[in-house]
Structure 1
């Protein structure tokens, strides 16, 4: 017990243990952090991209259905996190095993670093465009952006929540202002009767919307909602962020892109002649999301490597700053990334949800009181088989297929093999 206590004293962000009751947060605090996470420029970019392939009615359908799907996953994961007080990385111990959890934990940060880099590059690109910089100056802006954004995640949950209190009112006001200006440019009829320059299916549109937040709703949200005082406040904060925040951001991106006739959000914002407001919007928007993104990533890697969270952040910032030099802010790159996430990630939450609600009957034994076997191969088999079937099936929505297949295959294999991940005394 002595070692555990010492670990907890040093682990101020509870990366390796349960969040104690006296550290739990209110609905308002959770909503500020989660909504600040959700208010991200890439959602606006996705909305702009959708305007190139769908009419406005199709965009509305894709946005609503995509966010309902995301909300179902997010609510379930938030419920588990609030009940257990555990990060996503620690939750995976119950299904993947002690060492298997470290491998599973690596998946989230690898993808999150990609997200972090895309957003840092987008911000640096915007700054360079605003001041007519190019070449080396643009690369410098992107690399420096990646480093500066890491400061808030270095400070932890409290710093991110303070950032959210400052940023969210600015984001809401400025997003509304640009949207109102956009409607004023082409009129309500111009928005409603929008004709896309290209054509994509509703299913593809839904998959892109799901791709914007599937990773975070399946994994990172647990790192925030583990602080909830109750499951009710966790669920309410979750729905506020997704059904309010994410739908709002995607539609703001759609409206501005339709008005200007360009799906590149940087070009759209600059062409509206609102340099200072747009600079504030981009700064508050991306900083809140990337701070939470890197915070979650550091928690997962802390579990994987048993290493100090702040040292991990320094390494990530070096990697990300270098990766921005590849200019990953192009909309085509983003859409490829979102489609990939919307397909390969859903089996993972399916496995986690099936493990908690079906295999463990809706309750995990307290982390500090159990020991785990090192490795459980079954979730990996379930994930791979799910993806094979997802890419093979000629019907259905890939994201939904993956979620259901992951849950069903994992449950069946666990029941057949009678596999136990928790060691018996």
Structure 2
């Protein structure tokens, strides 16, 4: 094995396709992705939706929102498994060698924003729940900011090891909490009798469910590229983003209905399970935080064209910690709106580029003659983002569909013009 190949393997192949010898099983990948989608902010989204609808409508909103998210992530996961590439590398084909740096920046920024929010959340809630002095908040942010990145520093193996321990434990804790909540509400009859206490349109609710974790779905390719087949990637992604994310939104919704609390920690405190609540908070955030900073590192490696993923991971943790100290906890609402508007069009362009331009098979990345800027891809992204931003309908879905359609249309028109020009020149 050459030094370059050895370095790539150690760093989880940040700038090259994952070889067949490094592929993972459905079980391994499903655990890692489930750990990623078990996230506190997702429950907050479910809680916001939960107080706006009757129980039957609520279930339909959660079903549709999470099904859309799962389908979106699954298509990208399929492409990643077939090509062995992550979103950052696929962006080179879709946006160009230099143009891909735009998506690297957008994806990296959103992930480090989530990392900062999670770090701040852990420190603030731990102080609140244990009665520690307020002065302990800042040191705890630094501790968790760098502590959460340890498993990401190791790489896929570290993420998988943590998920093997944390995911089953969280499943048990969530099941216990949901059973108690259903009992406190008076069973199914009690849940269906609870009247909504807030107003939210169905489109806005689905946007919230879909948009809260769409940045994670766009970058789930960082793990699905390790899948042994496209089928494995699709099933693992659906399990995480439809079932796992769906479970988190459902827990938040039930908590809001029964206890007027959306977060699993506050719910468990209300249920008299404070100690388990702290454990849940720690496991919940750690399994997402390490995945998030790993995503940042992968995008950063492509942006800087460096294989030093471990170094970029530590730098990302430092930036996230700084943002947490500066008050990222207060920026969640505008941050979610940003994610739901400007991230999905990236995935839409990548899908259309793969299926329309390359007919389901990328050329070899090392030898492909890619332009500095793919104007078709960049234009389609701009169109998709603008329409999503101005849309009164489900913005993330609109962004994906408009970006994909715009790319397909522009690619077809440009290809037709080039073909006519070539035909005209050959006839001279």
- Could you tell me the TM-score, scaled by structure 1's length? 0.92
The residue number in structure 1 matching 2:322 is 322
Indicate yes or no: 2:204 matched with 1:244. no
Q: Is the 8 A contact 1:44 1:252 kept in 2?
A: yes
* Pair 1:126-2:128 in alignment: no
| CA deviations over 1:297-337 (Å, ceiling 9, x no partner) | 1011011112311221222222211211244445xx43433
Measured after TM superposition, the shift of residue 343 of structure 1 is 2.3
Show the counterpart of 1:408.
Answer: 405
Deviations 1:97-150 (A, max 9, x none): 112223321211100011111112112122111112353322332332222101
Counterpart for residue 423 of structure 2: none
The one-character-per-residue Cα deviations of 1:32-78 (angstroms, maximum 9, x if unpaired) are: 11111111122122222222333322321221111111122111111
8 Å CA contact 1:378, 1:414 repeated in 2? yes
CA RMSD across the alignment: 2.0
Aligned with 2:364 (options 349, 366, 383): 366
Q: Distance in 2 between matches of 1:205 and 1:336?
A: 16
Q: Quickly say closer, same or farther: Cα 1:190–1:337, change in 2 above 3 A.
A: farther
Pair 1:29 & 2:34 matched: no
Residues 98-107 or 264-273, more deviating: 264-273
Q: Quick check: 1:8–1:17 contact (8 Å CA) kept in 2?
A: no
Residue matched to 1:272: 271
- For 1:326 and 1:268, how far apart are their aligned partners in 2? 28
Match of 1:397? 394
Instruction: Name the stretch that deviates more: 56-65 or 161-170.
Output: 56-65
Whether 2:17 is the aligned partner of 1:18: answer: yes
1:215-267 deviation per Cα after TM superposition (whole angstroms, max 9, x unaligned): 1212x111101111111111111111122211111111222232212345543
The separation in 1 between residues aligned to 2:340 and 2:137, in whole angstroms, is 30
Judge conservation of contact 2:127–2:134 (CA < 8 Å) in 1: no
Alignment of 1:52-63 (within 5 A): 52-63=51-62
8 Å CA contact retained: 2:265, 2:274: no
Indicate which of 411, 414, 419 corresponds to 1:417.
Answer: 414
Partner of 1:217: 217
Compare 364-373 and 102-111 and name the one that shifted more.
364-373
For structure 1, the 5+ residue unaligned runs are 421-425
SS of 1:18's equivalent in the other structure is coil
Which residue is equivalent to 1:423? Answer: none
Counterpart of 2:98 in 1: which secondary structure? Answer: helix
* Aligned-partner SS, 2:366: helix
Moved more, 112-121 or 194-203: 194-203
In the alignment, is the contact (CA less than 8 A) between 1:59 and 1:205 conserved in 2?
Answer: no
1:341-383 residue CA offsets vs partner (Å, 9 max, x unmatched): 2222221111110000111111111223323222223222222
How far has the Cα of 1:83 moved from its partner?
Answer: 0.6
Aligned length, in residue pairs? 413
Deviation for aligned residue 1:180: 1.3
Q: What are the residue-to-residue correspondences of 1:16-415 with 2, within 5 Å? A: 16-133=15-132, 135-188=134-187, 189-218=189-218, 220-263=219-262, 266-307=265-306, 308-329=308-329, 333-394=331-392, 396-415=393-412
Cα distance in 2 for partners of 1:370, 1:382 equals 22
Unaligned runs of 5+ in 2: 419-428
8 Å contact from structure 2 (residues 77, 220) kept in 1: yes
